Amino acid sequence: MQKPSILFTGIFGAFAISVGAMVLIPHTQLASLQPQVTWDEGANSPSDIYPHERSATGREVYVAEGCFYCHSQQVRDPQYGPDTERGWGSRRTVARDYIYEDVPLLGSQRLGPDFANFGWTAKVAQKDGSEKTVSMWRNEHEDDSKKPAARNERWIYQHLYNPRTLFSDSKCPSYRYLFETKEIGEKPSPNAVAHNAKFQIVPTHEAERLAQYLLSLDRSHELKEAPTAIKPKEAKK
Amino acid sequence: MNATPETTSAAQGDVTRSDHDVARRDLENVERALIDQSARGPVLTFFTTAIFWLLVSVVLGYIASKSLHAPGSVMGPEWLYRLLHLERASHYIFDHLTYGRVWPAYTTALVYGWCSLAGMGVATWLIGRLTRVSIKAPAVLQFGAWFWNAGVAVAVITILCGYNSGLEFFEMHRVARACLFIGYLFIGIWGLILFRYRRQSTPYISVWYLSAAFFLFPWFFGTTEVLTSMPVAGVMKNIVNAWYQNGLFNLWLGCIGIASAYYFIPKVINRPIYSYNLASIGFWSWIFLGGLTAMTRLSGGPVPAYLVTISIAASILMIIPISTLTLNFVRTMKGHTGLMASSTTLRFTFVGTIFFSLAAVLGVVSALRSVDSYTHFTAWTHGQMHMFTLGFFSMVMFGAIYYITPRLVGCEWLSRTFMKLHFFGTAYGAGTIIALFLFGGLATGFALNEPTADKMGFYNVSGIANAYMPVKTYIGYVLFGVAQIIFAFHFLLMRLRIGQPAGEPTLLATPGEGH
């Protein structure tokens, strides 16, 4: 038999244990987490700080559109799965990677690929400029005919506007409403996803910020607690 | 010991029926009817609005499911929109209804709309019955119910328009959260006040679970609200979010569902629950362990490893509450399963408890690291969620609503065919949805985790569950949805007092028919 007094004491006890173990203890531990600073003795100033405080980009668009229901932003240790083998990152991500994020968008589903390092994996192709270069890290098969040449801003717009034009059975939604139709001035904008003689479809400000956000995602920095687990494919050769 | 849920007197054990006993029983029946009447207003409000949200969530669930195999398609007959000159509007609307907006709207409508409101309705009625007090000032509860509904409405609409907090199952806009919380305070505090005036000194098992649910919910909700609004950044918010989701399912919905099953199973078969000691072990282990299983949601993630380890251990220990609960229900039902053929309430409730056991066992298995590494990040976890909300919780709630409503409106359910169709559609529809989430999740899990060279490009992985998805939409959600439309219609008839004359409950089969 449960006396009401015992009942309520017990229920409160259950809550206390739950909140203590699952919330308060990790909170005391994580609250003190600071960025990793490498000190340059000679110049007597920090030579390297990670992570940097991010300036707000299109993160709100990413959240509002619920990209995180399909795209995770966490790279797991190789013992959990082939995240690094896929080239989603050079190492697992750790708590320190997220200290400046209001709500880290870790995600709980991977209907689409992980974005923890989207910008970083796309970088090589970008700087290089040559459309033939593929990103260094993505471990897509050489003969994969669908393998994109570059994952730069223009490619992202194409993908956002209609992923099915790039991958015929993609499940990624098309975000046509993040684009607008404008009259062409002198010549079509390089970012236009489509145009005819008079009109072009160009990304809105939101789409631009979203693309910037994706390209800013980079958690590749070497950390004490998470050493690089895998070397880039090209480097192996 | 306790014979039926409402009476604790030891006299129930012996079967001598003196005049005195008969008189007392009559008195009890009158008292019960009075208590039922006092609960009428708020409970019917809870049920009606819950069923509204059930229909909303089925439509949203259908759209979300469909947008995974036919992204961007317009729902419904396009020629109709063309006829009504709504083509542009329909395209505009359906363009915006992308998965990332519809999915959270769906889960919000399902969990906060249907599940929570139905649960609070059943709980209100149960509290009245089990504490033997009539509901005083029911307007307070009504008020709370409408606040809660306003919260859900604001939440669903803002999410569809593109607001999201980034926290799963807590996506709602701040205004919506405030509405939910205020609504809850009216309902919960009123429940506790009624509990103080109880005339039944030793609380029955269901009361333990209801106390836990109603006491814990505001703590989980409030703690999450405070911690996620604090300027602390980083994965702590994900940890709080995982902890909240776990509490929402195990301790809020879980406890209400179990409370309802503990009441209706012995009630319908008119037999005491098999063992009080088992119930006691089950209860305490459920609420203590149930609050610790949260972090399997983050296994492998950027959180302290010991958190995940504790949660895995707690998940494995969940075997204790699961087996005691299952044993207790099954042993109580032993020799009475035949009644499931005739009693709608029993059929829904008992099938619900079976789903409960399955969902809980699945929770244990999926917590194991070797299994988790395949099922994490896949639709498998959605399968678990649906097993809990559609399979277990909804089933148990339907059983309770079938029992309670006639006692409030004064007539019996009109049609046994409707009930049968509802059961059939719910069981098979939910079963299909759950099975396809699970299989689809497993299929992608293997491709995710053991990529062959061609599966390294993720665009080659996402097509894997293709075969499963249309079946989930067109069979699962359609069956489930049609069943709920029938149910809603049937309930509407009840509210209009169109039904069988009060007295004998409408049974699925006349007893003696079949077996």
CATH at B134: 1.20.210.10
Give the pLDDT of residue A231.
Answer: 60
- Mean pLDDT, chain A, rounded, equals 83
| pLDDT-wise least confident of A129-133, B124-128, B322-326, B472-476 | A129-133
Last residue of a domain, one of B140, B171, B201: B201
Q: How far apart are CA A207 and CA A122, in angstroms?
A: 17
Q: Shortest CB distance from A30 goes to which of B195, B234, B378?
A: B234
* High-pLDDT (> 70) share of chain A, %: 86
How many structural domains compose chain B? 3
Window 337-396 of B: residues touching A by CB (8 A cutoff) are 373, 376-379, 381-382
Within a domain: B178: yes
Give the pLDDT of residue A237.
Answer: 33
CB contact under 8 A, A31 and B453: no
- B327-348: pLDDT as tens digits: 999 999 988 888 888 899 999 9
Where residue A109 falls among pLDDT bands split at 50, 70, 90?
very high
Position B252 pLDDT exceeds 70: yes
| Set of chain B residues whose Cβ sits within 8 Å of the Cβ of A80 | 299-300, 373, 376
Last residue of a domain, one of B316, B335, B354: B335
Where residue A146 falls among pLDDT bands split at 50, 70, 90?
confident
Same domain, B263 and B404: no
Same domain, B328 and B352: no
What are chain A's domains?
49-235 (1.10.760.10)
Position A128 pLDDT exceeds 70: no
Same domain, B84 and B151: yes
Same domain, B324 and B378: no
CB contact under 8 A, B168 and A174: no
Same domain, B325 and B349: no
Min Cα distance A60 → chain B (Å) is 9
Within a domain: B18: no
Within a domain: B416: yes
Same domain, B67 and B194: yes
Q: How far apart are CA B138 and CA B136, in angstroms?
A: 5
Within a domain: B215: no
| Buried/exposed code over B323-350 (b: 16+ C-beta within 10 A; e: otherwise) | bbbbebbeebbeebeebbbbbbbbbbbb
Q: Shortest CB distance from B72 goes to which of A19, A77, A173?
A: A173
Taking residues B53-66, what's their average pLDDT? 95
| Nearest Cα residue to A76 out of A136, A36, A22, A116 | A116
Interface residue A229 vs chain B (CB under 8 A): no
Give the pLDDT of residue A134.
Answer: 40
Window 407-466 of B: residues touching A by CB (8 A cutoff) are 444, 448-451, 453-454, 456-460, 462-463, 466
Give the pLDDT of residue A9.
Answer: 92
Q: Complex ipTM, two decimals?
A: 0.91
Min Cα distance B122 → chain A (Å) is 21
Position B485 pLDDT exceeds 90: yes
Helix (H) or strand (E) holding A181: strand A179-183
- B8-18: pLDDT as tens digits: 333 333 344 56
Name the percent of chain A in helix, strand, coil, to the closest 5. Answer: 35, 10, 50
| pLDDT-wise least confident of A25-29, B109-113, B432-436 | A25-29
Taking residues B106-118, what's their average pLDDT? 97
Give the pLDDT of residue B6.
Answer: 56
Interface residue B218 vs chain A (CB under 8 A): no
Taking residues B471-493, what's their average pLDDT? 95
Same domain, B78 and B132: yes
CB contact under 8 A, A172 and B71: yes
Taking residues B58-76, what's their average pLDDT? 86
Give the pLDDT of residue B11.
Answer: 36
**Structural domain of residue B256, as residue ranges?**
223-335
Window 40-99 of A: residues touching B by CB (8 A cutoff) are 63-70, 72, 74, 76-77, 80-82, 85-87, 92-95, 97-99
Within a domain: B28: no
Residues facing residue A36 across a β-bridge: A50
Predicted TM-score (pTM) of this structure: 0.93
Phi and psi for B193 in degrees, rounded to 5? Answer: -65, -45
Do B109 and B49 contact (CB within 8 A), yes or no? no
Q: How far apart are CA B429 and CA B317, in angstroms?
A: 31
Taking residues B293-321, what's their average pLDDT? 94
Position B87 pLDDT exceeds 90: no
Coil, helix or strand at residue B464 = helix
Where residue B513 falls among pLDDT bands split at 50, 70, 90?
very low
On the 0-12 / 13-18 / 19+ scale of CB atoms within 10 A, A47 is exposed
